[in-house]
Amino acid sequence: MAKVTLQTIADRVGVSRATVSYAFSRPDQLSDGLRRRILEVADELGYAGPNATARSLRRGRAGALGLLFSETLPYAFADPYAVGFFQGLAAAAEDAGVGLLILPLPHGERRTVPVRDAVVDAFCVVSLPDGHPALAEVLARKLPMVVVDEPYVPGHPFVGIDEPAAGALAAGHVLELGHRRIGVAMVGLHDDGRTGWADPARQRAAPFEAMRGRRAGYESACVAAGLDWAGVPFYELSRNSRAAGREAGHALLRAEPRPTAVLTNTDVLALGILDAAADLGLRVPEDVSVVGFSDSAAQEAGLTTIRQAKQEIGEKAGRLLLSDPPPAPERLIFPHELIVRSSTAAPH
């Protein structure tokens, strides 16, 4: 019961290895009788079909797209935004008949480095912090690569939204409604697991480019409206969950003076803020306005949010990756839009 290869079958049938290969991958090159004979013998010997790796090597094509997320895999799908993006990407992959290889991030000292050994034709990098070692490994592979959301890598295609503009749009909305006491809750700024108040210095030092930009949009809109940013309570979360949002909500809504509007950078967080408001007996939007981000979990709860085309972004990334010739290093900025629902209103 040693390993059965094309050669084993060839020897048994008394033909050359090439003939057996044709039997499997180019039936028209063979007489029907011989082909049947070969398949029969293959079956008898328990042949598992042409070895996928060998075929891939010879053909120079892996039939898979590599995908790198910032979060450890188990948490990557906690955010509906990620799920939407993934659906778009998967649709493109499915269309082309290629698989999606989800890679674990390098982790501790291990002898096999997932990125280096990934059998893929191209890489899609999503939301990596500045300077993350995985990015260097991806670049070293010299395969086509597109980045989604962050970080922008000159010379490679980029797909995302105009983060500062989107942030400014969200903040501008509540400012226009007349709010002057704003609070902010954000997740995904830093990688160090810290949760709690963040001063402007720490905010600006965030290694995640997209979130840094989004936050800068909040700030610029506030400053333009005459607010002192240093006086804006800013609560940072390490996990994007409803429970984390609730924690931030408790902190922000107990601040003195209490904010009349809270900005968040995910809908999931915003839902948690709503929970906190309920805990504290505050009405939304009468006592406090809440703005989410992504329009991923917002509709049912009546959340005002910024909608971004997550599926389209994923699909576009996929098509770029699969395009032949390889994609030009464009920067593709998708539109975003403010969706006003019932979680925001003028103060008082």
Nearer to DNA, 10 or 198 (CB): 10
Site mask, DNA, residues 20-39, x = CB under 7 A? -xx-xxx--xxxxxxx----
Q: What angle do CA 31, 34, 39 make, to 5 degrees?
A: 120
Scan residues 179-238 and list those touching a second copy (CB under 8 A).
none
Cα gap 126→337, rounded to integer Å: 22
If one asks whether residue 193 binds DNA (CB under 7 A), the answer comes out as no
- What's the closest the beta carbon of residue 22 comes to DNA, in angstroms? 5
DSSP reduced 3-state for 196: strand
DSSP state, residue 258: P
Nearest to 301 by CA among 274, 320, 327: 274
If one asks whether residue 51 binds DNA (CB under 7 A), the answer comes out as yes
If one asks whether residue 331 binds a second copy (CB under 8 A), the answer comes out as no
Cα gap 171→176, rounded to integer Å: 9
DSSP state, residue 294: B
- What's the closest the beta carbon of residue 10 comes to a second copy, in angstroms? 19
Contact 107, 129 (CB under 8 A): no
Q: Which residue in the set 11, 12, 45, 55 belongs to the binding site for DNA (CB under 7 A)? A: 55
Nearer to a second copy, 117 or 228 (CB): 117
Q: Which residue in the set 12, 39, 45, 50 belongs to the binding site for DNA (CB under 7 A)? A: 50
The identity of residue 155, as a single letter, is G
Q: Write 162-166 long-range contacts (CB < 8 A, 24+).
A: 162/333, 162/336, 163/209, 163/210, 163/211, 163/213, 163/214, 163/216, 163/217, 164/213, 164/214, 164/216, 164/217, 164/220, 165/217, 165/336, 166/214, 166/217, 166/293, 166/306, 166/308, 166/336
Nearer to DNA, 32 or 300 (CB): 32
Q: Which residue in the set 7, 16, 72, 342 belongs to the binding site for a second copy (CB under 8 A)? A: 72
Encoded tokens for 315: 């699909």
- What's the closest the beta carbon of residue 17 comes to DNA, in angstroms? 5
The identity of residue 110, as a single letter, is R
Instruction: Name 337's bridge partners.
Output: 307
Cα gap 257→195, rounded to integer Å: 21
- Judged by CB under 7 A, the number of residues near DNA is 32
* Contact partner at residue 93 from a second copy, DNA, none, CB < 5 to 8 Å by partner kind: a second copy
If one asks whether residue 52 binds a second copy (CB under 8 A), the answer comes out as yes
If one asks whether residue 142 binds DNA (CB under 7 A), the answer comes out as no
If one asks whether residue 93 binds a second copy (CB under 8 A), the answer comes out as yes
Kindly indicate which of the ranges 28-36, 59-67, 199-207, 249-257 contains the residues binding a second copy, using the contact rule CB under 8 A. Answer: 59-67
If one asks whether residue 15 binds DNA (CB under 7 A), the answer comes out as yes
Cα gap 230→74, rounded to integer Å: 36
- What's the closest the beta carbon of residue 232 comes to DNA, in angstroms? 53
If one asks whether residue 46 binds a second copy (CB under 8 A), the answer comes out as yes
- What's the closest the beta carbon of residue 335 comes to a second copy, in angstroms? 21
If one asks whether residue 7 binds DNA (CB under 7 A), the answer comes out as yes
Which residues here bind DNA, judged by CB under 7 A? 3, 5-7, 14-19, 21-22, 24-26, 29-35, 49-51, 53-55, 57-60
